[in-house]
Structure 1
Amino acid sequence: MGLLNVVVGSEDPGKAWDAFVAAASTGAALLLRRRLPGTSIGLLYMPRGPVLDWSQAEQVEQFAEALRQVACEQGVFLVQADPAVPEERVDVHDALTRMGFQRVEKQGLFRILQPVHVMRIPVDRYGGPEGLLAALPHKSRYNIGLAKRKGVVIVPRTDHNALRVFHQLLLQGGRRKGFPVRGLRFHEAIWRHCVQTGLGEYLFAEHGGRVVAVIQVLRFGPTAWYMYGASTGEDQNLMASYLLQWTGISRSWAAGCRWYDMRGVVSAKPSPEDPEYGVYEFKRRFNAELVSFLGEYDLAISPRVYAGWRWLEQAVQRPAAWSYRLYQKLGRLT
């Protein structure tokens, strides 16, 4: 059994990443290939993959063999994966190990950057949004109602100008709080392939005719994802963020989604002393539950090149971390 290797193109005009779809009768994976600058080699990344029936050992082995064949054909030294599989699935970890993958802990620039710990709301467990609303903490219900009483209005949009306003708010928030924001080209690709195809939307919170906050929600199958959010900083007393999330949950349910994924938190055991604890606390106020995935895995196709790559990872972490802290400080000053 072999993989069906279909080139579907690159969204990056600079060809930083090339995208493939690898599929077989028993599983599938999206493969992103990146060439290392100035070399003929590169790496493959399987975002949230592969998707397999992990109980079928023979099929998993066949997929692994075909994956190595594709990797060799593409001239890569490494295949990275971060399957969306809960960490308690030891059987999947064992299967990945038999495929030749090894679990790795990475930091900074060399992390895949998909969240390992996410917060998910099982909306169907409550019978729908109304059942969920009744089960929310009193303060959450109060804040949702308060936003309505203060005149906050939620406006769904999918037009291109909505994308631009959304991205501008992201940039303003990034400068104010000192975190990096992906460029317009990245968000334009999401708009074109997801929002414009009916798989997502922007929800704007408006007050007195002014936009005070916005979130982006994407939907696929039974799951909706709160991807990004931003505000002007003027919405705190209006509780607009509560009404935005509640609207996102309700509209996702109406579109057929049964899970609402509020995406990542930094730790499996958040502590009030953590700088990002407020993010976890806000999501928990919507009865979101913490789910931890298995983590990141590397399959070394060329052990010698991979060893050099791992050495480089360790060598650049300290200067990279220093540069990021400097970026944060400068961002807060502007």
Structure 2
Amino acid sequence: MAIINQNQWDEFLGSFPDAHLLQTSRWGDFKKAFGWQPLYVQNQNSGAQILFRPLPLGLTIAYIPKGPVGLDWSALLPEIENICRRRRAIVIYIEPDAWQDDSPILAQKLTKYKPASISIQPRRTITLSLEGREEDWLQRMKQKTRYNIRLAEKKGVIIAKSSDLAAFNDLMKVTGERDQFGVHQESYYKTAYQLFHPDGSCEMFMAAFENRPLAAIMVFKRGRRAWYFYGASDEKERNRMPTYLLQWEAMRWAAEAGCTEYDLWGVPDLDEDSLEANFADRSDGLWGVYRFKRGFGGQLKRTAGVYERILQPGIFQFYSIAMRMRKKGMAG
């Protein structure tokens, strides 16, 4: 069996309860709303959701986020390559659901692939253990983080589940302007929420003081894992520490749903010694994010990253140069 339909993929993925959220068909539907085309491939006990990004002249880019699924990819990978060639992919990007420590095993599986120079999903992250009692979680945190969680409660911050996507979007705009990064359009967060919330795979938490939204986060879960993908906060009332209490309540929600790991999803891609030596003096980029996330006492991890198989070298080289020029503002 090679290409299968969405229902068949959902049935197949049901046998892998801890497969990554980004391999679910709903994630494919989510990305489809913003220009990608999902396709599902299965060969015996392994499979992959491939996302195709259309390029000019009928060409595509193929991307497998946090997959393939299953242990033995030997029969699957040739199927994937054949399908991608038929769809005129110039390159296949595979981003396995694996940590850097697994790289030697991946090198044996992905013999025709090489590590790519690009990052798609965050390369380095902090994961929190949700095992044990809540008192155990608190003990693993930095003292200042424990203090800020309690301070938010004392200062009247109220955390509630919310579906107010307009308020979430307003907070995202404020955050983007303050921290100087681009934010998605409102429909992006709305689509994610509407696809994943109905079955409980996503929850939005809003922190408010006297009915005024101060901060919000959108958290996702599948199997034993939960992920903090999106978050935003207002400039005002930051001394009430709403973001700390938000994460605490999200952790509790994930644990109640059976999750044992909470992924804070993204910090600067530097080794721990460099991060610890510099975070107090840096506020640019993701440094402020690291300062906040490190306080929750998790484990710093680095993913295996992206592997690439270039199918059309000449066109791929031209495309890569064009993309670099675009990023530098030299192209439209």
Question: Which residues of structure 1 form unaligned runs of 5+?
Answer: 54-58, 324-334
Asked whether the 8 Å contact 1:119–1:261 carries over to 2, the reply is yes
Relative to structure 1, is the Cα distance of residues 296 and 135 closer, same or farther in structure 2, using a 3 angstrom cutoff?
Answer: closer
The structure 2 residue matched to 1:119, chosen from 116, 126, 136, is: 126
Using the TM superposition, give the Cα deviation of residue 13 of structure 1 relative to its aligned residue in structure 2, in angstroms: 8.0
Asked whether the 8 Å contact 2:42–2:76 carries over to 1, the reply is no
Aligned to 2:145: 140
Give the letter aligned to residue 121 of structure 1.
Answer: L
Is 1:44 aligned to 2:62, yes or no?
yes
Is 1:249 aligned to 2:251, yes or no?
yes
Using the TM superposition, give the Cα deviation of residue 131 of structure 1 relative to its aligned residue in structure 2, in angstroms: 1.6
Aligned to 2:290: 280
Relative to structure 1, is the Cα distance of residues 298 and 13 closer, same or farther in structure 2, using a 3 angstrom cutoff?
Answer: closer
- State the 4+ residue runs in structure 1 displaced beyond 4 angstroms: 7-15
TM-score, reference length from structure 1:
0.84
The structure 1 residue matched to 2:234, chosen from 232, 235, 250, is: 232
Is 1:24 aligned to 2:43, yes or no?
yes
Provide Cα deviations, 1:247-287, integer angstroms capped at 9, x if missing partner: 11111101111101111012232232442322112111111
TM-score, reference length from structure 2:
0.84
Asked whether the 8 Å contact 2:30–2:195 carries over to 1, the reply is no
Using the TM superposition, give the Cα deviation of residue 12 of structure 1 relative to its aligned residue in structure 2, in angstroms: 7.0
Relative to structure 1, is the Cα distance of residues 315 and 234 closer, same or farther in structure 2, using a 3 angstrom cutoff?
Answer: closer
Aligned to 2:224: 222
Query: Using the alignment, how far apart are the partners of 1:11 and 1:19 within structure 2?
Result: 10
Query: Using the alignment, how far apart are the partners of 1:136 and 1:105 within structure 2?
Result: 34
Query: Using the alignment, how far apart are the partners of 1:11 and 1:133 within structure 2?
Result: 35
**Residue pairs, 1:281-300, within 5 angstroms:** 281-300=291-310
Aligned to 1:67: 80
Identity %: 25
Using the TM superposition, give the Cα deviation of residue 319 of structure 1 relative to its aligned residue in structure 2, in angstroms: 2.6
Give the letter aligned to residue 47 of structure 2.
Answer: A
Query: Using the alignment, how far apart are the partners of 1:301 and 1:96 within structure 2?
Result: 18
Give the letter aligned to residue 182 of structure 1.
Answer: H
Relative to structure 1, is the Cα distance of residues 13 and 208 closer, same or farther in structure 2, using a 3 angstrom cutoff?
Answer: same
**Residue pairs, 1:66-85, within 5 angstroms:** 66-85=79-98
Aligned to 1:308: 318
Query: Using the alignment, how far apart are the partners of 2:32 and 2:95 within structure 1?
Result: 26
Query: Using the alignment, how far apart are the partners of 2:32 and 2:108 within structure 1?
Result: 37
Relative to structure 1, is the Cα distance of residues 268 and 51 closer, same or farther in structure 2, using a 3 angstrom cutoff?
Answer: farther
Provide Cα deviations, 1:182-201, integer angstroms capped at 9, x if missing partner: 11222122112112221111
Aligned to 1:129: 134
Using the TM superposition, give the Cα deviation of residue 314 of structure 1 relative to its aligned residue in structure 2, in angstroms: 4.0
Give the match's secondary structure for 2:265: strand
- Count residues in correspondence: 304
Give the match's secondary structure for 2:174: helix
Provide Cα deviations, 1:127-152, integer angstroms capped at 9, x if missing partner: 13232123322222221111111111
Query: Using the alignment, how far apart are the partners of 2:81 and 2:114 within structure 1?
Result: 15
